[in-house]
Chains A and B, each alone.
Chain A
Amino acid sequence: MTIAPYRLGLTATYERADDAHELLEDTGLIGPVVYEEEVDELAGEYLSEYETIHMQVELTDDERSQYDEEYGIYREYVDTHDFDLWKAEGYQEFLAHTSYDSDGRRALIAKQRAEELARTAVKKLDTLDTLLKRHHDDRTIIFTANNDFAYEISHEFIVPCITHQTKTDERTEILERFRTGEYSILATSQVLDEGIDVPAANVGIILSGSASKRQYAQRLGRILRPTDERQPARLYEIIASDTMENYVSQRRREGVEAGA
């Protein structure tokens, strides 16, 4: 038993992409949301002003033909079966099929490959080129959804990089140097999302991500922390056009851009 008769919870990440947060209330585990503040309303006074810029890149011809082939395999499989993929159960059903149907297995791999192609589209690096030329005097964090791409960027642009594989010592060292300004650019996969105190940055570049509002909001939150200079923050999202990423990106924005 606790001494307090009631308790109040505070979270920046209440909503979950699979709507499981509704279960908390429905099952009576916790009471209703009593107060809510949108990110937009905090900007300016508590957080620095921010601006979100969406950029699209084309797949190269090679990438496009590979993408269409893989996506086609996936699409054909799900279209010939009765999965409602926009629902969690439908997707579970699809996954179940992949464990005993070799066509289903191939379809799953095809989906993963198509996603990977879109996430790591080579022209995203060209756009990153442009942004780094523009912002090389700023403090920039580049987000990728997979480790390989983070390391590729680290190699290519000679920027420090943090992933879940980075040992704690080195992670602390890189973050400290980013804080002091010794490093001005940082690439990272998802590992900074939770529980790590990331120094303020004023430019964020999202190269890829998954359809999670929660993740997106947190990434945004980290960048929006006020810097000493009170510079306006910018968040760029670079997505591959005419791919599954369009949908993913839209769903992500619903969580943070209320009424936008």
Chain B
Amino acid sequence: MLTADLARSRTSDGKVTPLFIDPDDARYRKTAGELIELFETHVGEPKADLDTAIDQLTVADTDYKIIQGLAKLLRDECDFETVAAAEPHEIRQRLFERANDSYPIVRQPTLEADTRKLDVYTAVADELGISLAECHQGMYADLDANNRLVRFGDQVAESVELDTDGTTTTTQLTGQSEESYTGKALTDEWLLNRYNLALAQAVLYDATELRIRVWDQFATVFSYVKLFGLMHRIYPIDEHGERVSSTDLAEGYEAILDGPASLFRQSRKYGIRMANFLPALPHCKRWELTADILVDESANETRELTLDQTTGFQTHYSGGSRYDSDLERTLADKWSRSNTEWNLVREDDVIDLGAEVLLPDFAMEHPDGRRTILEIMGFWTPEYLEEKLAKIRQADVENLVLAVSENLDCTSEDIDIEAARVLWFKTGIHVYDVVDLAERYATQAPSAGS
């Protein structure tokens, strides 16, 4: 992600235009290649050395914002860690305590005091059972600048120990980590394309609403909307982008997504997910995105950002298959270990409401032919939830139930929603709660032969 100071866009005539760079420009190719090499050669080295080397590239270059932006995207592929033989805070506390009895400790000591500094360092090193060099190095090893670059892409520093299961990081929430759905090779081409995406992503942090139209690859695009938990309303459209009354007439789909700038709470977290969604769009041969970008909060003034397949984005996401969130995976795991007659199966079809569609996640099927559909909601506001419940009632999809996370509430108001078909949960979904709902709302599936 680009931080605000590294974002580059121009605002004119009611439009916001990210200042894209040409990924085929030899100059930028060279810079990108140099940067990647810098990172590769600094694996295992202190962060400050890497930073200095990057700054060195920008000394007489007015493109420094681009260079620092590219470097930021590479830093996002890095892990930095404190490497020390003993706890740094412990080392320095012991040093200062001991030194206080030995002052003055100076650079040009008198003859009888000339070993004081060495004595202090040596004594503390001995106390902690580390070497003198480790004591010197460890004293401030926990400073940001002294942290070591231990991983760049799939390149890992040799001295760094991995957990027994071979991972150093854990993915906690849906879509926080790119690793699960990106095929990553850190090349100059990847970096420059990634940079252009990042410029647009930076603008989207201030979006109040996004309107997306796609005419192919629906499943891929929808699955990313779900993966990132974005608030969505999806409508069938014709080849010109006009809404149509039924999915039978659909040439494509339009998705209206709530933007991060429209939320009271969680807007940062939501903004990151929204930004992470953008690279899914270039999977489509034909797509359009129009976003309202908040430029003046007090005046509620917005400008428009428009992007489409001619923008030249390259996606680094894999397409086709469906990406489960941790939440979905965990539920499926728990289900397989549980003792219920209901089967949990993926539901990949949309629910057709005529002029709109819903995207469920699972179906629960009973051997006797009963069936209930489950949608796990991502982020939500009371309006969004009420609207969805109203649609379900109107469309007469009696067997649809919702699982709603109390943690993904984006409103400032107190929650007071009476809804029978909603399963509230905090961190994880319990199998038997879902089975309970399944029992209550199931409908008999049409028998196979009819």
> A residues within 8 Å of B by Cβ?
98-106, 109, 125-126, 129, 132-133, 136, 148, 151, 154-160, 165, 170, 173, 177, 182-185
Complex interface: stretch among B15-23, B56-64, B401-409: B56-64
Q: Does B130 lie at the interface of the complex (its beta carbon under 8 Å from any beta carbon of A)?
A: no
B99 near A165 with CB under 8 A, answer no
A158 near B105 with CB under 8 A, answer yes
Q: Which residues of B contact A156 (CB under 8 A)?
A: 107
A157 near B106 with CB under 8 A, answer yes
Cα A158 to Cα B104 in complex, Å, equals 10
How would residues 57 to 73 of chain B score, 1 for a CB under 8 Å from any chain A CB and 0 otherwise?
01111101000000000
B105 near A157 with CB under 8 A, answer yes
- Shortest 7 CB-CB distances between A and B: which pairs? A158-B99, A136-B104, A106-B60, A136-B103, A129-B106, A160-B96, A132-B104
CB nearest neighbor in B for A106: B60
> B residues within 8 Å of A by Cβ?
58-62, 64, 89, 92-93, 95-100, 102-108, 117, 120-121, 136, 139-140, 143-145
Pick from A125, A151, A158, A177: contact of B120, CB under 8 Å: A158
CB nearest neighbor in A for B106: A129
Cα A154 to Cα B140 in complex, Å, equals 10
Q: Which residues of A contact B100 (CB under 8 A)?
A: 182-185
Q: How far is the CB of B51 from chain A (nearest CB, A)?
A: 12
Cα A132 to Cα B109 in complex, Å, equals 11
A132 near B106 with CB under 8 A, answer yes
Pick from B59, B60, B96: contact of A159, CB under 8 Å: B96
Cα A182 to Cα B371 in complex, Å, equals 72
Cα A125 to Cα B19 in complex, Å, equals 47
Known: A106-B60, A151-B143, A155-B139. A132 touches B103 (CB 8 A): yes
CB nearest neighbor in B for A98: B62
Q: Which residues of B contact A183 (CB under 8 A)?
A: 96, 100
A100 near B96 with CB under 8 A, answer no
Cα A183 to Cα B58 in complex, Å, equals 42
Most buried by A among B106, B120, B143, B145: B106
Q: Which residues of A contact B93 (CB under 8 A)?
A: 173
Cα A159 to Cα B106 in complex, Å, equals 11
Pick from A101, A103, A129, A170: contact of B89, CB under 8 Å: A170
Cα A177 to Cα B103 in complex, Å, equals 16
CB nearest neighbor in A for B93: A173
A126 near B108 with CB under 8 A, answer yes
* Contacts A/B (CB < 8 Å), 5 sampled: A99-B62, A129-B106, A132-B104, A159-B99, A173-B93
Q: Which residues of A contact B108 (CB under 8 A)?
A: 126, 129
Q: Which residues of B contact A100 (CB under 8 A)?
A: 62
Q: Which residues of A contact B89 (CB under 8 A)?
A: 170
Known: A99-B62, A102-B62, A126-B108. A184 touches B139 (CB 8 A): no
Q: How far is the CB of A116 from chain B (nearest CB, A)?
A: 12
Cα A157 to Cα B105 in complex, Å, equals 6
CB nearest neighbor in B for A148: B145
A182 near B60 with CB under 8 A, answer no
If A105-B59, A126-B108, A136-B104 are given as contacts, then 16 extra A-B residue pairs at C-beta distance below 8 Å, sorted by A number, are A104-B62, A105-B61, A106-B60, A109-B59, A125-B107, A132-B106, A155-B139, A157-B105, A157-B106, A158-B98, A158-B105, A158-B120, A159-B96, A160-B96, A182-B97, A185-B100
